[in-house]
DNA sequence: AACCGCGTCAACCGCACACTG
DNA sequence: TCAGTGTGCGGTTGACGCGGT
């Protein structure tokens, strides 16, 4: 029963990923889709552990990832969800599809935790409690099907409440067409995947089983794919260019606004690594074909998707405010998702 | 200018769960 | 039913950058 390590320690490279490795991984995923991570090192020749590959993909290379600079909405949402769900970062991340669980976890540990501790019993007292090991919802040790369903229902309920609170409290702050929080819920079928995620299966949208393809195949995802890759390439360029940081797209260069808008910039469109010139536009544009996506104008499609999904999510979120039995929530959620 | 301490975050590790034969 | 394998998750670590002295 002794389980061998996921990878033998010999000959396995550790530490920061190089741009070249990233490229190899990206092109592999582009060709085969995410999953079957075990095969990745052997097929690609990467001297990396399969887990490392998966992690790199989910936390860094996966399309649609936003890095750095958490907005107020996101921050509050995280605080709310953490208070409700505890340190179930994957479940929390499923409500913020653009964020990875690792990112959220780091942000919590470095910013929010301290902030809440320092601020005394600040927002949502439970948040202070969040630091305590007894969150409102603990993952049960085991669950029968009935229990599972109950827990799913509970989780949906709690998360929905948290989202609603967060959205409500931020409503006035929110710019007209900035579906941040709601988008977080809607994106990638956030609500449902989130539900599923928190439902013990804990396989959130953010999870990578089929990474991008698990996200709703909206063109928004595609846009973000392109953005993401060029951002990545941009990061590499800067890194190589002597920014000095070891991070490709992390904190360093990133005034997030700048980074995000940089995606389309010509600056990012062509970079060279060790003499190899790459066209950022070319690579990602054809990349991720396994993600079914229309080649529509990105922004337009994203907007459309956002709007429809947002309204669905909103109606779901605010449903019980209208007196809808919570018993139907699961059905509603299921209907919405599947 | 050099040193030091702290904050941040990417990556690693180990455990648990899900799936499959 | 059980063992083996693959994957996901959360906690932790270590390297790097930055600000203060």
Q: Structure tokens of A189?
A: 């079928």
Residue-level pLDDT at A275: 34
Asked if A10-63 and A66-119 have one fold, the answer is yes
Q: Is any atom of strand C within 7 angstroms of residue A59's beta carbon?
A: no
- Cα–Cα dist A99/A66, whole Å: 6
**Does strand C come within 7 Å of the CB of A33?**
no
Asked if A214 CB < 7 A from strand C, the reply is no
**Which DSSP category does A188 fall into?**
G
Residue A86: left if φ>0, alpha if ψ -120 to 50, beta else—which one?
left
A50 CB-to-strand C distance under 7 Å: yes
The whole-angstrom separation of Cα A61 and Cα A33 is 13
Give the C-alpha separation, A338 to A192, whole Å: 8
Asked whether A302 and A48 are in contact (CB, 8 A), the reply is: no
Single out the residue of A184, A176, A136 nearest to residue A158, CA to CA. Answer: A136
Assigned architecture for domain A66-119 = Orthogonal Bundle (1.10)
Q: From the alpha carbon of A92, which nucleotide's C1' atom is closest?
A: C9
Query: Does A127 have pLDDT greater than 80?
Result: no
CA of A153 to C1' of C14 (A): 40
Look at residues A6, A10, A88 and name the one whose alpha carbon lies nearest to residue A52: A6
Task: Indicate if the pLDDT at residue A52 is higher than 50.
Answer: yes
Query: Looking at the predicted structure, is the pLDDT value of residue A54 above 70?
Result: yes
Contact between residue A250 and residue A68 where contact means Cβ atoms under 8 Å apart: yes
pLDDT of residue A316: 47
A13 touches strand B (CB under 7 A): yes
A1 touches strand B (CB under 7 A): no
Protein residue at shortest CA distance from C1' of B14: A5
The predicted-structure confidence for A191-220, as pLDDT tens digits, reads as follows: 333 333 333 333 333 333 333 333 333 333
- DSSP H or E stretch at residue A276: strand A276-279
Q: Which residues pair with A278 in a beta bridge?
A: A271
Whole-angstrom distance, CA of residue A126 vs CA of residue A295: 45
Name the superfamily (CATH) of residues A10-63. Homeodomain-like (1.10.10.60)
Bigger pLDDT: A34 or A137?
A34
Nucleotides of strand B lying closer than 7 angstroms to a protein CB: 7-15, 17-18
Residue A13 has what DSSP assignment?
-
The domain locations on chain A are: 10-63, 66-119
* Neighbour count for residue A265 (Cβ, 10 Å): 12
Tokens of A306: 């956002």
Phi, psi angles (nearest 5°) of residue A77: -60, -45
Verify if strand C has an atom below 7 Å from the CB of A87: yes
Segment A238-285, tens digit of pLDDT:
444 333 333 333 333 333 333 333 333 333 333 333 333 333 333 333
Listed as ranges, the nucleotides of chain C within 7 A of a protein C-beta are 3-12, 15-18
Which of A184, A124, A188, A134 is CA-nearest to residue A160?
A: A184
A106 touches strand B (CB under 7 A): yes
- Res. A90 pLDDT band, cuts 50 70 90: confident
Is strand C within 7 Å of residue A100 (CB)? no
Give the pLDDT of residue A334. Answer: 35
Quick one: pLDDT at residue A167? 58
State, as a whole number of angstroms, the distance between the CA of A228 and the C1' of B2: 39
Å from the A308 CA to the C2 C1': 47
Query: Distance from residue A3 (CA) to nucleotide C4 (C1'), in Å?
Result: 9
- Asked if residue A317 has pLDDT above 70, the reply is no
What pLDDT is attached to residue A292?
Answer: 36
Nucleotide nearest to A91 (CA to C1'): C9
* CB A110 within 7 Å, strand C: no
- Predicted confidence at residue A94, as pLDDT, reads 84
Q: How far is the CA of A189 from the C1' of B18 (A)?
A: 22
Task: Determine the longest span between alpha carbons in chain A, in angstroms.
Answer: 64
Torsion region of A276: left, alpha or beta (phi above 0 gives left; psi -120 to 50 gives alpha): beta
The pLDDT assigned to A17 comes to 87
Name the pLDDT band for A143 (thresholds 50, 70, 90): very low
On whether the CB atoms of residues A313 and A191 are closer than 8 A, the answer is yes
pLDDT at A100 (0 to 100): 87
Under the banding of pLDDT at 50, 70 and 90, the label for residue A228 is: low
Percent of chain A with pLDDT over 90: 0
For residue A34, how many C-alpha atoms fall within 13 Å in the half-sphere facing its CB? Answer: 24
Give the residue carrying structure tokens 């990112």: A103
Burial code (b: 16+ CB inside 10 Å, e: under 16) for A67-81 equals: bbebbebbbbbbbbb
pLDDT at A229 (0 to 100): 52
Pick out the nucleotide with least CA–C1' distance to A38: C6
Give every CB contact of residue A158 below 8 A, 6+ residues apart in sequence: A84, A85, A136, A137, A198
* Least confident range of A66-80, A109-123, A204-218: A204-218
Task: For tokens 């099907």, name the residue.
Answer: A145
Distance A215 CA to B6 C1' (A): 38
Q: Is the CB of A106 under 7 A from strand C?
A: yes
Least confident of A48-52, A109-113, A234-238: A234-238
Calpha distance A321→A330 (Å, rounded)? 16
């Amino acid at each position: 029963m002794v389980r061998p390590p996921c990878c033998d320690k010999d000959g396995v490279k550790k530490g920061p990923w190089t741009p070249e490795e990233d490229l190899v991984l990206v092109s592999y995923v582009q060709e085969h889709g995410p999953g079957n991570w075990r095969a990745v090192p052997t097929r690609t020749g990467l001297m990396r552990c399969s887990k490392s590959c998966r992690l790199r993909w989910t936390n860094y290379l996966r399309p649609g990832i936003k890095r750095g600079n958490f907005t107020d909405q996101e921050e509050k949402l995280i605080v709310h969800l953490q208070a409700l769900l505890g340190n179930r970062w994957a479940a929390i991340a499923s409500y913020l599809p653009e964020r990875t669980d690792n990112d959220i976890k780091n942000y919590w540990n470095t910013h929010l935790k301290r902030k809440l501790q320092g601020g005394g019993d600040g927002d949502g007292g439970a948040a202070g409690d969040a630091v305590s090991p007894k969150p409102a919802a603990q993952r049960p040790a085991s669950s029968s099907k009935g229990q599972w369903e109950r827990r799913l229902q509970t989780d949906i309920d709690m998360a929905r409440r948290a989202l609603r609170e967060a959205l409500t409290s931020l409503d006035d702050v929110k710019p007209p067409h900035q579906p941040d929080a709601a988008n977080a819920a809607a994106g990638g079928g956030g609500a449902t995947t989130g539900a599923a995620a928190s439902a013990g299966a804990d396989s959130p949208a953010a999870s990578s089983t089929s990474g991008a393809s698990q996200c709703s195949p909206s063109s928004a995802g595609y846009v973000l794919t392109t953005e993401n890759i060029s951002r990545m390439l941009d990061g590499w360029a800067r890194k190589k260019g002597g920014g000095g940081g070891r991070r490709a797209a992390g904190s360093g260069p990133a005034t997030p606004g700048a980074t995000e808008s940089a995606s389309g910039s010509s600056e990012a469109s062509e970079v060279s690594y060790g003499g190899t010139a790459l066209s950022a536009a070319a690579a990602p544009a054809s990349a991720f074909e396994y993600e079914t996506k229309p080649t529509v104008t990105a922004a337009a499609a994203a907007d459309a998707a956002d709007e429809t999904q947002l309204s669905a999510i909103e109606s779901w979120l605010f449903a019980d405010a209208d007196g809808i039995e919570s018993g139907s929530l699961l059905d509603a959620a299921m209907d919405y998702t599947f």
